[in-house]
C-alpha cells in the first residue's frame, strides 16, 4: 500500500537540513531503486522551481510499504527526523487514483 510521509520543518532548520540532506537522499535512493517511490521532494515556501534551502518548509514522500507501521518505522529513522529538521511529521495511507 502507498503512504504519504510528510515532515514540516522546524524553525531555523536550514542548517540542519543542509547537514542531513546527503544522508536523507541516499536513504531515499534505496526506496527509489527498490521501485517503491511514487514521488518525493521538498515543499517550497515560494512559487519557484528552484527555491534556496531557506525557502523550504518541509518534505513529502509517497512510497509503498508493507504496512502503516513499517512506513512509520522507516520515516522515524530518516536523517531529517533524527537531526530534528522537522518539528512535525506524519505518515498516512494514500490511495492513488490517477495516473
Cell of 63: 512510497
Superfamily name and number for 2-94: Dimeric alpha+beta barrel (3.30.70.1060)
**Nearest in space to 15 (alpha carbons), one of 41, 50, 51, 54:** 54
Q: Starting at the earlier edge strand, list the strands of the sheet with 37-44.
A: 37-44, 56-64, 2-9, 86-94
pTM of the complete model = 0.92
CB 37 within 8 A of CB 61: yes
Mean pLDDT of the residues in the chain: 94
**pLDDT value at 52 more than 70:** no
Distance CA 54, CA 32 (A): 26
Helices (H), the chain: 14-33, 68-76, 79-82
Amino acid at each position: 500500500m502507498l503512504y504519504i510521509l510528510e515532515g514540516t520543518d522546524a524553525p531555523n532548520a536550514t542548517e540542519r537540513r543542509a547537514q542531513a540532506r546527503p544522508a536523507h537522499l541516499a536513504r531515499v535512493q534505496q526506496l527509489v531503486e527498490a521501485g517503491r517511490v511514487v514521488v518525493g521532494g521538498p515543499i517550497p515556501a515560494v512559487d519557484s522551481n528552484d527555491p534556496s534551502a531557506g525557502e523550504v518548509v518541509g518534505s513529502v514522500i509517497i512510497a509503498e510499504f508493507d504496512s502503516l507501521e513499517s512506513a512509520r518505522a522507516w520515516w522515524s529513522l530518516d536523517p531529517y527526523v533524527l537531526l530534528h529538521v522537522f518539528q512535525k511529521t506524519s505518515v498516512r495511507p494514500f490511495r492513488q487514483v490517477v495516473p
